[in-house]
A and B are shown apart, each in its own frame.
Chain A
């Protein structure tokens, strides 16, 4: 599993055509090495999900190439892609996306079965990974009975069960509270470092920057180099210093995502959100 490289070269994705076409990703290039944790950040609608889907062979680029170990996977037909999705990539979705009718164990084992393992073998592998992720008490549960953090750990187990080279996670903590979110991020980092996998995480959560080896900033479908980021002290979002609204306090400059956050910080709005005049 060592020595692979995922290489994205000059990739563009346009949705639709004619005057209503949307260019979600424009001429993006990057390479991901084994054992590396790459964090892709950027505002909502900047093309993060689109880029990650193309990297995971879930979406074909309009132009450019994506190659894995020298094989141009973006040129492969639908006949070859299932194998790659099954064995090379583990995809973790923002909203978990577990199969609702299958138990925790079955959700993980079925992916191993699809890759050709016998049922018993698949269940054994699934049980082992789920146990490592602390879910041994939940094997027979249906997804609807799980908490958000548990669901995301099941999704991670599913992504890992066929021992993929790359893990791709789209806002894996967006629907989780911050403590659980941090736990998920620690797991993802461990996964990368222990087995030499590459992990690509999409997020706009500033708090997880520290687990990444490399942070990329996507904006309007393009990587913006050397952008200086700051954290909005009110909502916690990442903001670009050059474009943010600012305020001075105690000699330091603070950066906000919007006027609203700035106003709230400066105490210009009632913090409970109720305007006494209209009550």
Chain B
């Protein structure tokens, strides 16, 4: 009984332009909306912690109670760096200074995580440098590419940070996000401008090979008073939760609305396409097709529509993910397997229901009646 079902489903989809456009086109469009929004939300969420993720530190040490970067004020005496170095499992420890500040260049202003870097550090520096150097000297700054592009400045240009004009010595890639950019200055400039001597904000720690981040955080908190230590992923997780709680409501809401609207369109597209073929399902029944053949045909059609539409939507989203950064927008789309699976499963179930509804009636009444009602004007 599979032969006729597959034949009819395939032919119906491919040979009838209305059904093809309505079901596959409609489904592809709707799923593109859903997948693109998901990718944007996941991308924004992942980008929020890109500086932390790429810092090279396995453990972040902060003033007691500070568990993330955004809007945090952490201040530790610089003697803590030595104390952390002596803790078991610590291979390297190096401090950064940190503040959230407005930076400007050519009249372009943006909120930035400003990081003060010691000249010899191997952690917390820009992960990828497009041009120039990674660690700024005195009077210098390294800024992110998206900010530099918006402001129209490059290496050798000027940027104002903490009210001081600094020469741009390097352009970094990949640390900024939708909400703020990241700028690097020298540790000494940061300390003198902010008038904070013998103080650090965070201590970044690289653990010895084989040591677990968890064990090292415990060891640090035990041996160094007045600090909170968190593994990199825990620290990033705290950061993401805090920022999404502050700024993410709108994004989450937008995503939820997009999801509902998108799936409603999927349902509608499949419903309309099935309804358009109702008369022929009545005919099939009159010819002697059983109910399960009718259901099989519409379900396979719905499944094919979702499969083809989903692939089209995925290609669209992947293309968008390449185009958006290329256009200089500080937005990286992230296609997460978990959200792909969710969308695919929900869309398949919804499309299945939407295709069965119009046929249920056909299957339950005398075929002669379907005809009479179905006659085109």
Contact = CB atoms under 8 A, between A and B. Distances in A.
Interface of A: 49-50, 53, 58-60, 78, 82-87, 91, 93, 95, 97, 99-102, 106, 110-111, 113-115, 119, 142, 158
A50 B366 CA distance: 12
A58 B4 contact: no
Most buried by B among A53, A85, A114: A114
B16 A114 contact: no
Given A53-B368, A111-B288, A101 B15 contact: yes
Given A86-B288, A113-B3, A113-B4, A59 B368 contact: yes
Chain A to chain B: the 7 pairs with minimum beta-carbon distance, closest first: A86-B288, A85-B288, A53-B368, A59-B368, A101-B15, A101-B11, A58-B368
Nearest to A118: B3
23 contacts: A58-B366, A59-B367, A59-B368, A60-B366, A78-B291, A82-B288, A85-B286, A85-B288, A86-B288, A87-B288, A97-B283, A97-B371, A99-B283, A99-B284, A100-B15, A101-B12, A102-B8, A106-B11, A110-B7, A113-B3, A114-B288, A114-B289, A158-B287
Given A60-B366, A99-B280, A82 B289 contact: yes
Contact of B366 (A59, A110, A115): A59
Contacts of A50: 368
A115 B288 contact: yes
Contacts of B289: 82, 114
B287 A111 contact: yes
A83 B15 CA distance: 29
Contacts of A102: 7-8, 11
B290 interface: yes
A202 B55 CA distance: 85
Given A59-B367, A102-B11, A142-B15, 6 more contacts: A87-B288, A102-B7, A110-B4, A113-B3, A114-B4, A115-B288
Contact of B16 (A60, A100, A110, A113): A100
Contacts of B12: 101
Interface in B252-281: 280
A30 to B, nearest CB: 18
A114 B371 CA distance: 20
A106 B6 CA distance: 12
B144 interface: no
Contacts of B375: 95
Contacts of B291: 78
Nearest to B291: A78
A82 B366 CA distance: 11
